[in-house]
Structure 1
Amino acid sequence: MSIPLFRALARDHFLHLLLIIGVALCFFVPFAPARWPGAIDWHTIITLSGLMLLTKGVELSGYFDVLGRRMVRRFHNERRLAMFMVLAAALLSTFLTNDVALFIVVPLTITLKKLCEIPVNRLIIFEALAVNAGSLLTPIGNPQNILLWGRSGLSFPAFIWQMTPLALAMMATLLALCWFCFPNKALNYHSGTHATDWQPRLVWSCLGFYLVFITALELKQELWGLALIAAGFLLLARRVVLSVDWTLLLVFIAMFIDVHLLIQLPALHSVLTSTSQLSPSGLWLAAIGLSQFISNVPATILLLNYVPPDTLLAWAVNVGGFGLLPGSLANLIALRMANDRRIWWRFHLYSLPMLLWAAAVGYGLLLFR
């Protein structure tokens, strides 16, 4: 395992970039490595670890192959299949959170590539955009909404009502874009593919492990939950543990530390202090812009210290999930799972126009509320 892990680390240019940024920031802020572990959201790291194990278990069981074959028989053209996957990603993200939705739809999408000719990278990009658009609707769709909901004092239905205009606009835009980007042509099946022998025992074990892990999360015992399912996979299917992309966790850890260093910059503090004096349009642009560089969850945490958790802030940080890769951690998860270097720059061909459109439409809707 050490050799593949070393190779993965050597190829991970995004991790290298994060490390370079972290080293550079150390020259401008107090150097205190003892504080870095406290800056890491270990709940997120542990939750991601469990989800990666569970998803890899289902993937290696062969069940995604079975499900994919059923889907390609049901959807006979590329556009319908793409529309279904985008809608499924958005719907799942409203109640399972955007990260969990991606752990379900992206591996399934990769399996579909083995069965028929589809532009898998483009579809994964649209799924990443879909979970950002779908998750903004509910208080539990993403981490920033959980924070905003808790601070706002709104009821569950009231929060959904607050977010509905933006969610509808973004989903309508995404579906229209999907309609034009995926042609209405028949799916071309790969004749050489044959049905994979899937392992029902491993699938049912993953379901059982999932229930154990969710229960542990609810009881605030996530570390014990992770230990239990990891031990279960080591006994049942050791290759699951060895096949997980563990370098993704290092990327997230590096991002948390970089953000911790960034927010200590004196210049940033002076800018954030002045946000309470900004006009609505200025705050709108500031929240979106800040999200682009430190991700929308840390941006929400910072801005809640200076501005109220109102509709403008809720819409702005969710719009900030589009655009640049760091805007939402869901973007990073989706592109990493695709395991194709070309997808990294192609993502921005769709996400940056989506950001500009969302910023313009969202602010326009705010003016008419």
Structure 2
Amino acid sequence: MMIQACKTLFRPFLHDRFLHVLLLLAVVLSLLQPEKILQFADFIDWTTIVTLLGLLLLTKGVEISGYFDVVGRKMINILSNERAVALFLVAAAAVLSTFMTNDVALFIVVPLTITLKKLTSLPVTRLIIFEALAVNAGSLLTPVGNPQNILLWNRSGLSFAHFIWQMSPLALITLLALLLVTWFSFPSHALKKKQTQPGSAFNKPLLLSCVVLYLLFIVCVDFGLALYGLAVVLICFLLLSRQVLLRIDWPLIAVFMVMFIDVRLIVGLGPLQAAFGQIAGLPEYGHYLLGIGLSQIISNVPATILLVNYLPANALLAYAVNAGGFGLAIGSLANLIALRMSGEKRIWLTFHGYSFLFLLFSGLVGWFLLAWR
């Protein structure tokens, strides 16, 4: 039994090519800066890691409880065609991301979408891609929609309402474009239900425990006690359902940890440090392109953390790093979460076909809006 549990836990690490690439990059960068190896633990944003792990555990607990299966069956009885389901879930992902942050919205919507794969012939892979795009579009609207906006809002001195007013043109245009593309990408065919799939047993006590633990965990995170909240979650799942601990995406946690290390090592390279000192002297379009470009290389949250030291936390920087969440999967950590949760290897290539289209669209729209202001 113990041997089987260990295989279940460690096998995914052997097949995670993205993690292997990040580890290889860390090794190469460490050879160039060996004195920083002892600082690796300091490079990792442990609050983010603890928060992500807690959310993964709680989402998996709800999934194992069978609740998503119950909700999915009710949904396909109310919404009768593919287009209606797709529009509902994409809109729900966008709305949730405005006040729950983009990653938390995905932890709710994506597992529900995966459940629909067992119940219908809905093209779930494509739908998850649109949900990832939706949380990027929705989250850019508010100061609390994503980590980069939280930082920019705090630095800008704007009121909550003023920040929303500043971001609303880009958010609304991008979201309307996404809903339009969703409309044409999903036909109005009637959902074909799979009759051979029996309903999962609904474990109501586990669900209620997850809800209570979720509220407790969020409160702990808000009060800077995330580690204590995670400890409570781990202990409860050890008692209630050890399968949760075995079935979450542990390599995803490793991916985020190595990404933090890689970013700090890249930024610490001597030639780059000299270049950063010249950022303030660039023209506005240079700042805008730099915000988008850096987001494609090191993700938009680290790009914001870096650029806010050299540029004002204004609409230009906010538009740039939020538009930069599209494009490459690494542009936004939410992209990585959605694609990893899908469990589909082929989704990565398809995702980039849509995502680069929205990077070009949102980037151009953002620049024209800034010029018009």
TM-score over 0.5 for the alignment?
yes
Measured in 2, the distance between the counterparts of 1:198 and 1:61 equals 6
Letter in 2 for 1:287: G
- Report the identity percentage: 57
Query: Which of 160, 167, 186 pairs up with 1:163?
Result: 167
Q: Deviations over 1:264-302 (max 9, x none)?
A: 112222322211111111111111000101000100011
Q: 1:335 matched to which residue of 2?
A: 339
Matched, 1:133 2:115: no
Matched, 1:91 2:95: yes
> TM-score w.r.t. structure 1 length?
0.98
Runs of 4+ in 1 over 4 A off after TM superposition: none
- Contact persistence 1:5–1:247 (CA under 8 A): no
Measured in 1, the distance between the counterparts of 2:193 and 2:35 equals 57
Q: 2:248 matched to which residue of 1?
A: 244
Structure 2 unmatched runs, 5+:
none
Measured in 1, the distance between the counterparts of 2:53 and 2:10 equals 19
Q: 2:194 matched to which residue of 1?
A: 190
Matched, 1:316 2:320: yes
Measured in 1, the distance between the counterparts of 2:372 and 2:344 equals 42
Structure 1 unmatched runs, 5+:
none
Q: Deviations over 1:42-63 (max 9, x none)?
A: 0000001110110001000000
Q: 1:257 matched to which residue of 2?
A: 261
Measured in 1, the distance between the counterparts of 2:240 and 2:11 equals 27
Matched, 1:13 2:31: no
Query: Which of 28, 34, 39 pairs up with 2:38?
Result: 34
Q: Please report how far the alpha carbon of residue 69 of structure 1 lies from its aligned counterpart in structure 2 after TM superposition.
A: 0.5
Letter in 2 for 1:318: N
- Contact persistence 2:9–2:246 (CA under 8 A): no
- Contact persistence 1:77–1:186 (CA under 8 A): yes
Measured in 1, the distance between the counterparts of 2:342 and 2:284 equals 38
Q: Deviations over 1:138-177 (max 9, x none)?
A: 0000000000000000000000001000101110111111
- Contact persistence 1:62–1:199 (CA under 8 A): yes
Q: Deviations over 1:61-81 (max 9, x none)?
A: 000000000111111110110
Measured in 2, the distance between the counterparts of 1:166 and 1:200 equals 41
Matched, 1:214 2:218: yes
Measured in 1, the distance between the counterparts of 2:350 and 2:274 equals 35
Letter in 2 for 1:334: A
- Contact persistence 1:130–1:174 (CA under 8 A): yes
Measured in 1, the distance between the counterparts of 2:10 and 2:222 equals 35
Matched residue SS, 1:110: helix
Matched residue SS, 1:132: helix
Q: Please report how far the alpha carbon of residue 6 of structure 1 lies from its aligned counterpart in structure 2 after TM superposition.
A: 2.6
Query: Which of 347, 351, 359 pairs up with 2:363?
Result: 359
> TM-score w.r.t. structure 2 length?
0.97
- Contact persistence 1:62–1:198 (CA under 8 A): yes
Letter in 2 for 1:11: H
Q: 2:158 matched to which residue of 1?
A: 154
Q: Deviations over 1:77-128 (max 9, x none)?
A: 1011000000000000000000000000000000011111011110000000
